Structure 1
Amino acid sequence: MSIRGRWLWMLKEHYHVPINLKAACERHVEEEADVVTIGYTRKSYGYESMTTHARLIQSQVDSLRGRYLARKVSVSSRCNASIPLEDRGKKQGDSMVKIGQIENCAGTMQDLVHRLRTFL
């Protein structure tokens, strides 16, 4: 008579705490009212269509909100990395994508600069 079964792999006890701490940290950041994680994304000048441009920016915003737990994400839809942060988005005609087209967007870089100057 043969005994049949399967192997059961168990995670060692000392690995349980770090995994639980990561989940607890994520819950704390999401639920804490006093902590606001700010994200910023920019899209360089390019030759893609407006819908592709908007889709790429939306993908960056979704990544910042999902993976990095950013609650507020500011966007510069057309700028080069060499432009100083406080100068991004100052020109009105510089935006290829309207900020209203981007979901979960807190505003432009100029809005972020204004908030930071107001609260600091």
Structure 2
Amino acid sequence: MTTKTLLKTSIASSLVAALLAVTTGCATTPGYNAYGDIYEDVYKDSSLYKKHKKTIKSIDKDIYQPAIEQAAANKVSSMGYRVKDVKYKKGDRTIKIKAERNRQNYKIELGYPNYNVINIKED
């Protein structure tokens, strides 16, 4: 091997090792959450969060609940029902839906978060 190829190989391997070390360090940092706010634990301890806790929770409800209810309504509509009412309460594992099909009323329960049908009852 020539010194030029040996130099290229050592530089490339050292760059890969450095990038791997940085990536590992970022992913294992305490308080890091890839799916949420990385500073969430800092905010929840602050007086500002405690002061506006009710407002933050209501905004959370206003943002996510309609999207969950709409996805459930789309699922039931694709099954051939006409959706009348959808009810989901944060923290529940079920979504309750009132629907109609062939002039018959039904109560349908879907599981959350996978939207699988749990129960269909004639109302």
TM-score by length of structure 2 reads 0.26
Question: Which of these two proteins has the greater Rg computed from alpha carbons?
Answer: 2
Higher strand share: 2
TM-score by length of structure 1 reads 0.26
